[in-house]
Structure 1
Amino acid sequence: MLKSKLTAAVLAALAFGYASATLAATDAGSTPASSSPQDTSTSSQSGTQDDEAVKKAKKLEAVTVTGSLIPQSQVETAQPVITITAEDMKARGFTTVAEALQQSSFATGSAQGPQDNNSFTTGAKTLSLFGLPVGFTKYLIDGRPMGDFPGLYNGSDVFNNLSNIPQEMVDHIDILPGGQSSLYGSDAIAGVVNIVLKKKVDAPTVDVRFGGLSEGGGASQRISFADSFNVGKFNTLIGAQYEQTKPIWGYSRSLTKTYFNGGSEPGVASRDYLVTGYFSGYQFEDPNNCANVSAGYNGDEKFRNRPGHGDYCGSLASAGYSTLANQDTTANLYSHSTFDVNDNLQLYGDLLYNYEEQKFTSGTNTTFWSTGIATAGGAPYFYDPATQDFETVQRIFTPEEVGGYQNIMNKQYENSYLLTLGGKGTIGQSNWDYDLGFSHSDDKLINRDFQRFTAPIEKYFADHVMGQAIPGTYSGYPQFSPNYANLYHPVSNADFRSFTGYTTSNSKTWDNMTRGQLTNQSLFRLAGGDAGIAVVLEGGNQGWDSSPDPRLLQTYVDQYGNTQSVVYGTSATPGAGHRSRYAATTELRLPLMEQVTMDLSGRYDSYNVEGKTVSHPTFNVGIEYRPVDTLLLRGRYGSAFKAPTLADEFQRPSGYYNSVTDYVNCARLGYGPDVAASKCPYPYDSTQYQGQTYGNPNLEPITAKVWSYGFVWAPIEHMSFAVDYLHWDINNEVSQISADQLSRTEYLCETGGLDPNSGSCVAAFNLVTRGAGTTAPDGTPLLGQITNITTPKLNIANEQVNAITANFGYIRPIGYLGSLALNLSYSDELKHTTQDYITDPKIDVLRHPGAYPNGTDFKSKANGSLTWTNTGDNWSATVYFNRYGSSPNYAATIADNYTDPGTGRLAPWILYNASVTYNPFKSLAISLLVNNVFNKMPPKDDSYPNTTNSPYNTDNYNVYGRAYYLEAKYSFGGSAK
């Protein structure tokens, strides 16, 4: 067969990289895609040996690819795809599968991770494609759905955890942007990520890697082993990987070891021992000027003054006592086995098992005591007759008191596996192939979280500082006569342990699926060649169970008649449910003419939820047009959907505690939203509230219309260039607004920024609960303090995204020196609008930096690599860069504009990795990798206040710095390349 110039050029460009948007083989046991297109010049003659030979040749060269169910030989179709190979991951310095995906140009959205050390899912890693929600991406392992993570992103959303996939077991990863539900069902709105594991190794292979960071922390060791063997008709691969990583602490980085010193004002110390009067401000009640507590924070606990407020005891160093990256231990086991029963039947089985143990802490953020939580029944102040002022008291525990924060870290244990069994082959001598398989995924999660317990901690401070409440109230506030001198004394380790401990929460997910597929590559003949068809039937069930420690949900009535939570300032997200489902899919590939191919697919998904059926059909139409053999024009139009998640449907009323700025009351006190968080008086600067959310079994599917068009051009040999434009129109989205957004909305509704009768205002007034109206001690009328915020789940939001992607690949021989391979990838969000309620105007998040959660997304990302390989193929070196586009500074996110003084955008963040690999002999490869070669820290953002302990957006940037890795790979009798 004659090779297409386009196909040959694309394959050449892919030899060292993934930047060309190609389709890579994904099914178990598949062979690499042939470089030749389907031969349309040879017609088959029924009943002849030549005819059978042609059929066999076509079947051998055609493989199943991500983005299609029908085996084919074209490496470019209507679907843009980026492929990351195992060699790419190593050469470009990616140390985990999560890192490789998070650095892809498509991952422009902000996403929580280990730096969010007080979030619901600190021990998980994920990404946001094109700024769309993390749950809008479908993750597959060898084409089969990956099990859901049992924890909920932001306490609400179901998603997939990428932190424990064994990198050394991965063959390649395919990323398909755009809606793919007509083939892959629910969740495939933003795109599909297919992680393809290895099916064979040439010889037993051991890989050992050691790494560390120049700034300290994060030291890692990894060892992996893999081997393939066969006994008669039985073939198997077995692999194992074990890895340990030390935590990174905030105090090991200059930007996070103290409160922010790089802004317009010097950093201010934490208020570790603080008495605050409404009229008198900070009241310094320690006659020893903090001498008794000076050993705290390794001697940094000192007498401090906060300008405009007063004196107290505090530490600049307290900011650094939290983890930025988790302590992590991971073990993985993987096996792939086949048994050839005969020429028409092969049995197969796959098992991927993962165990991961992580430790982390938010430090002083969750190890404190305050009168505003339980002592005064949740009232913002208490009245002290001795000072005749309305006061609050705050006490943060130092590392010396807690016995070292490394000894009270939260712990997470995850056990998960994916098991697949089945058989595939050909029906007799026909053109029909079949695949019938069963898969089961299971993921169990245990969270051991360090807690304070309300009754013991309140008793301790009642005995040592506050005393008993004075009967009666003063102006509606409780009364106490504290012994303030006792506040300024260290708490012993034994006393600290007496009111703290661990809670144990369990959660799990499981999924069963039986899947049958029939495929015919030569259903009938068209002008452009043989038409193909694939038909798939799926059925199964899935479940989710979140069972928090019972104490997290319990309350009691204290001696003052107030209802208190058993666990101090903490709650949980209980829920459980299961559902059955089935789906039917059909795909037709129609070569209408020699230059034109059409791909049609349709799918119907149905879920049974508590006796109610939730179903949705999806479709896709794709066109490929090759006017010349060096150019492909392509386009596709279709629909996508996301079924309500099990948590959306079955989450029980779930309480949680958090803090929010009360923008309305701060404004009444004279502090606008730009300074409310830093200058508004307590408690309105950070009001603790109890939040609640819950599931809704009557939710409908999220729906989307999706389309794309683009081209692939191979102007010369060994070069390809691809550009695609993508569009999403998403409706019926399940929305849960943030507490901060609701508080801001209240402020805008009161000040006239929004129509009080708009959907946003009505919802805010209904979802935010306040106590009785009051007046400030100076007589200013105030709304009641925020006590509760409810965030129910409803199908009310809409979203639109337009984006462009471009990929370039080129290989250039350089004579006796070898060859150079250049790969470039670029993505840009051209438009992103959101609408929280259908009655509200659409928000252009690219121009509204305060829009939650997309206002801080990167608009664009670009990356690329240059790889040199010498003629003898025993030396190779790669330089890789990743350019994160500009993002709004902190002031812009607060003001929600770029026009106020101090607002603006941060400069792009560009990181470089470098690697070199040497093969002293065929079976040994030694690699040195240096990531973030220039030790680049996040772009400087002076607009952060001096009370910030992490003066950068932790969902966009990190301060990990330069990393070094030394790796050795040895193959016993094979090639280590």
Structure 2
Amino acid sequence: MHRHLLTAAIGAALAAAAIAAPARAQDAAPSSAPTEIDKVTVTGSLIPRSEIETATPVISISAENIKRQGFKDVYDVLRAQPLATGAVQDSQYTGGFTTNAEPISLLGLDPGFTLVLIDGRPMADYPLLYNGQSNFTDLASIPTAMVERIDIAPGNQSAIYGSSAIAGVVNIILKKRVDGTHLNFRFGGYDGGGGENARLQLIGGKEVGPFSLTYGLQYSMQDPIYGYDRRRIDSTNDNPDPDARYGSRNFVRINADVLPNEYVDPGAACGALGNLFNGTLTRDFRPGRGYYCGSREDVGYLTIMNRKRDLSGYFNASYALNDRTELYGTLLVGHNKSESNPGTRVWTTSVDTNGIFYNDTSGRYETYQRIFAPEETGDVDANNERQTSDSYNLAFGGRGSLGESNWNYDAYFARSQYKVDSKQRWLLSAAADDFFERRFLGPVIDHVGPYPVYAPTDDSGFYRALTPAEFNSITDIIRTKSETWTQNFNLQLTNTELFHLPAGAVGFATVLQAGEQSWKNPTDPRVVAGDFFSLTGTQGQGKRRNQAIGVEFRVPIFSQLTASLSGRYDKYKNVGAGTDSDGTYKIGLEYRPVESLLLRANYATAFKAPDMAYVFAGDSGYYTTVVDYYRCATEEPGESIGNCTYNAESVSGRRSGAKDLKSITAKSWGAGVLWAPSGNFDVSVDYYNIKIDDEVNDLNIDAVLRSESACRLGQLDPASPTCADAFARVSRLPQDAPVPLQLDSVRTNPINVSKEEVRGLTAKLNYRWQTDSWGSFALGANYNVTLKHENQQYPGDPTIDYLREPFYSSEFKNIGSASLSWNKGPWTTTLYGVRYGRTPNYAAQVDPAGYSTENGGRMRPHLSFNGSASYEFGDDLSLSFTVNNLFNKMPQRDKTFDVYPYYNSLNYNIYGRSYMVEVNWKFGASSQ
């Protein structure tokens, strides 16, 4: 069926071309062009050329479209692209490892499989680790004021750019020429409250003789959005499961030796706590458990949009020494401050035994749990994780021609660096235990096995709020400073007429590169030592050196057929670890039977050197809250995951890097057709197929526990390699323990054995037309459909179908976007829409049986629109108004999503409709 789709698309384009009138050669480009087109370097190639469209399909988003279509920053632009099908952890994912970073997942692949470039040069990785495991590029640090356009080239591009270009390349092209000075001010907010924002931009340029300067400055601010700002998620009363509408366990005493665990009724003790959580804490009741003191609005104190203050600067300068030689330099710097609230802090008795101790007074195994309210911590924002990041991207060098020959060179040094200084307040285990021992528990008097023995005589000290001073006395600030950098020397030689064949000139390019990169992610020694309550951290550092040589040829085989061939050899030396090398190549064909039609195909290999974190991560521990799927299934059968007693079990984990990891390798091929009968119309369809081998995966702890449960329950073959591995990783207490088979620990680590394949179709259309009375119109559309996405974790394992097994993935199968613009005189308006395809509901994601279960199913497609209108008051002043999410479209209500925030925040957001007003002034422009 997939071949039929491609054949039909190509056949339709060929039929259309057969009846089309001949067009000029330059009309093959998707936009109007002058009679002569200067040769330019396009993303996906090193050789300058006249044709914008080549054997590699490229999607370009101009700065003007970024503005008109309502995107507030580079991340918004890329996240809305149809190629960005994967679910990712962004700033909505509170409590994670990278709550202030913004990654994308092209084609549903890992964020680290996308190479992000600035002017063709790689950016430094984000210093903190995605999901605590892998390196990736953060898009939050790139200011829109300096962006000229963004190119996206899907598929393998390692033969041109080296490591990591497996899912594709995102090339962010910065402005090189600006006429005059442009001052821009924008402000806005959201219908539902929170998120107020403002941005000030100043960009300009100046040319004096042989000297050219472009500069820019951007300052932006964004206020947070808390859960309590959105009615859909401000309380546990919003839970779609009526049986789960009860408060958080802010003050709870638990009998841990009975199943299900029973709560000890606090009686009237909750009355003295009624002022907490803005007066919402009461004596609440959980069905099947009992009474406790809790607030149903506790959950709303998490941020779903972070507080940010960003300052960026940009300079690009060039100096022409003569007609053949130019010196240049580029510097982009950023200083960012952000805050996120992962929720209230928790304390329980005896964290080393999952909160359980032996109560000598009652003769039972028990647990006490406290969740601290904002009134106790001193402020709503007191628990915020605060990050300051500083980054820069620098390049300087020279370029020109060698004498009177056709040879051109570009020699430069490039360096990119990213630093993150992170601070957060956390409970000190010893100080907190000592405080509550003095307040009500008393000292440890003995041990029963691993369980400490206390003899509390009075609960009144437990049911008492802390003062901010008391809270501060049992906490401290954790501060970490992490850093990455990458630098390299490059020499590139090009010759667009190396020699001539009967069909035309052969183009040639070669590149020599030598560089190194570093990753440093230390952790406060007290965290590693376990001094902080229920907290450990990731740590590691390392350095890597690399050398590369690459060549590219562009060969006209005959007048209608051109081939491009490129190859590259990369060698990596991990300092103190292993050495790895890879050779990659790419072959492309461009066939133009008529000047308006391009048939293209490409085949390429690619590689990704193992992430620095995968190689150099030290032995790291972590505490996390997980779902114990096995005990939910065996001890509370029929209970929903959200209402299961074991849906928030504390567990410790360990992980470390693997210095013997090898590079991930990939092969891809693609084919497509582009028809451009005029400069005002073009349409294209392209097929891509990517196969990845030796993929490195750090096992997800939730996935390990799901697999372990499925193996124990016989839903997966207990003798399979997956089950053998899951049993080895998950440690449980013995059957005769006070809490039989309670989770003890889980170990994860990176492995180099997985395979993955993704294939699909992408299409784009552009159409512009002019009318005599109604002005000019422009229509643009992009679409991507994933036809297959499969993964095999271990040799011998069954293949996982990510599109049909929601237990493993909630990626979008298809995404489409379209924009319609109208311009008449001083008025310009744009309507932009994006349609996200179906995704699995929550019940299907947590049940290995997927859609075969009664509750399995899919969510409806999600459609939203942005609208903008601008008016020009002459040549120097304009005013625009933008409404994003025009119809206030929220994520579809999922009746099975019974875990906060009650929607899939990896796929959708709940920000709602927003407004932006923007004023633009231009002055000092040269006369035309």
TM beyond 0.5:
yes
Give 1:553's aligned amino acid: V
Match of 2:375 in 1: 400
Q: 1:238 aligns with which of 203, 208, 215?
A: 215
Decide whether the 8 Å contact of 1:643 with 1:701 is kept in 2.
yes
Match of 1:887 in 2: 839
CA distance in 2, matches of 1:503, 1:646: 24
| SS of 2:321 mapped into structure 1 | strand
CA distance in 1, matches of 2:749, 2:43: 37
2:881 is aligned with 1:928:
yes
2:126 is aligned with 1:174:
no
Instruction: State the shift of 1:302 in Å.
Output: 0.9
Match of 1:580 in 2: 545
CA distance in 1, matches of 2:509, 2:609: 24
Match of 1:804 in 2: 761
Instruction: Note the alpha carbon deviations across 1:145-166, whole angstroms, 9 max, x for none.
Output: 1111111111111111100211
CA distance in 2, matches of 1:144, 1:403: 46
Q: 1:898 aligns with which of 834, 842, 851?
A: 851
Instruction: State the shift of 1:480 in Å.
Output: 3.8
Cα 1:692–1:975 shift into 2, 3 Å = farther
CA distance in 2, matches of 1:762, 1:190: 31
2:237 is aligned with 1:272:
no
CA distance in 2, matches of 1:690, 1:463: 27
Match of 2:684 in 1: 722
Instruction: State the shift of 1:477 in Å.
Output: 6.9
2:498 is aligned with 1:546:
no
Instruction: Note the alpha carbon deviations across 1:95-143, whole angstroms, 9 max, x for none.
Output: 0011101101100100101111101100100100010000000011011
CA distance in 2, matches of 1:10, 1:400: 65
| SS of 2:52 mapped into structure 1 | coil
Instruction: State the shift of 1:9 in Å.
Output: 4.6
Match of 1:569 in 2: 534
2:827 is aligned with 1:875:
yes
Give 1:733's aligned amino acid: E
CA distance in 1, matches of 2:829, 2:469: 56
Match of 1:713 in 2: 675
Decide whether the 8 Å contact of 1:450 with 1:503 is kept in 2.
yes
CA distance in 1, matches of 2:678, 2:544: 53
Give 1:696's aligned amino acid: A
Cα 1:480–1:5 shift into 2, 3 Å = farther
| SS of 2:231 mapped into structure 1 | coil
CA distance in 2, matches of 1:976, 1:381: 78
Decide whether the 8 Å contact of 2:350 with 2:452 is kept in 1.
no
Matched positions, count:
903
User: Unpaired segments of 5 or more residues in structure 2?
Assistant: 1-20
CA distance in 2, matches of 1:258, 1:196: 44
Instruction: Note the alpha carbon deviations across 1:582-615, whole angstroms, 9 max, x for none.
Output: 0011000011111101000000000112374210
CA distance in 2, matches of 1:479, 1:289: 21
CA distance in 1, matches of 2:340, 2:182: 33
Q: 1:195 aligns with which of 172, 181, 199?
A: 172
Match of 1:857 in 2: 811
Instruction: State the shift of 1:841 in Å.
Output: 1.1
Cα 1:410–1:482 shift into 2, 3 Å = farther
Match of 1:54 in 2: none
CA distance in 2, matches of 1:605, 1:685: 46
Decide whether the 8 Å contact of 1:661 with 1:677 is kept in 2.
no
Instruction: Note the alpha carbon deviations across 1:254-304, whole angstroms, 9 max, x for none.
Output: 111111525141622111111121438544443425110000111111111
CA distance in 2, matches of 1:5, 1:463: 87
Match of 2:800 in 1: 843
CA distance in 2, matches of 1:412, 1:258: 28
Match of 1:26 in 2: none
Instruction: State the shift of 1:813 in Å.
Output: 1.4
CA distance in 1, matches of 2:624, 2:712: 23
Instruction: State the shift of 1:715 in Å.
Output: 4.7
Structure 1 segment 671-686 matched on structure 2, within 5 A? 671=637, 675-676=640-641, 678-680=643-645, 684-686=646-648
Structure 1 segment 458-537 matched on structure 2, within 5 A? 458-473=433-448, 478-481=453-456, 483-537=458-512
2:647 is aligned with 1:695:
no
CA distance in 2, matches of 1:504, 1:749: 41
Match of 2:736 in 1: 774
Match of 1:149 in 2: 126
Structure 1 segment 298-377 matched on structure 2, within 5 A? 298-364=278-344, 367-373=345-351, 377=352
Match of 1:791 in 2: 748
CA distance in 1, matches of 2:64, 2:818: 15
CA distance in 1, matches of 2:451, 2:196: 55
Give 1:843's aligned amino acid: I
Give 2:305's aligned amino acid: A
CA distance in 2, matches of 1:429, 1:307: 86
Identity %: 38
Q: 1:826 aligns with which of 766, 776, 783?
A: 783
Instruction: Note the alpha carbon deviations across 1:2-29, whole angstroms, 9 max, x for none.
Output: x983765554x546xxxxxxxxxxxxxx
Decide whether the 8 Å contact of 2:577 with 2:659 is kept in 1.
no
Cα 1:868–1:298 shift into 2, 3 Å = same
Decide whether the 8 Å contact of 2:763 with 2:784 is kept in 1.
yes
Q: 1:295 aligns with which of 265, 275, 279?
A: 275
Give 2:485's aligned amino acid: W
Give 1:490's aligned amino acid: A
Structure 1 segment 404-419 matched on structure 2, within 5 A? 404-419=379-394
Instruction: Note the alpha carbon deviations across 1:385-420, whole angstroms, 9 max, x for none.
Output: 444433211111111111122133110011111111
Match of 2:910 in 1: 959
Instruction: Note the alpha carbon deviations across 1:523-581, whole angstroms, 9 max, x for none.
Output: 11123211100011000111111122221112xxxxxxxxxx20111111111111211
CA distance in 1, matches of 2:761, 2:77: 20
Instruction: State the shift of 1:499 in Å.
Output: 0.7
CA distance in 2, matches of 1:383, 1:153: 39
Decide whether the 8 Å contact of 2:552 with 2:566 is kept in 1.
yes
Decide whether the 8 Å contact of 2:870 with 2:879 is kept in 1.
yes
2:609 is aligned with 1:643:
yes
Decide whether the 8 Å contact of 2:699 with 2:750 is kept in 1.
no
Structure 1 segment 32-47 matched on structure 2, within 5 A? none
Match of 1:616 in 2: 582
Instruction: State the shift of 1:730 in Å.
Output: 0.3
Cα 1:295–1:838 shift into 2, 3 Å = same
CA distance in 2, matches of 1:641, 1:219: 43
| SS of 1:400 mapped into structure 2 | helix
Cα 1:904–1:480 shift into 2, 3 Å = farther
Cα 1:976–1:149 shift into 2, 3 Å = farther
Match of 2:771 in 1: 814
Cα 1:190–1:512 shift into 2, 3 Å = same
CA distance in 2, matches of 1:832, 1:902: 24
CA distance in 1, matches of 2:433, 2:190: 42
Structure 1 segment 13-28 matched on structure 2, within 5 A? 13-14=30-31
| SS of 2:694 mapped into structure 1 | strand
Decide whether the 8 Å contact of 1:898 with 1:904 is kept in 2.
yes
Cα 1:817–1:10 shift into 2, 3 Å = farther
CA distance in 2, matches of 1:508, 1:216: 35
| SS of 1:740 mapped into structure 2 | helix
Cα 1:545–1:474 shift into 2, 3 Å = closer
CA distance in 2, matches of 1:665, 1:478: 26
RMSD: 2.0
CA distance in 1, matches of 2:488, 2:327: 17
Instruction: State the shift of 1:973 in Å.
Output: 3.3
Cα 1:230–1:314 shift into 2, 3 Å = same
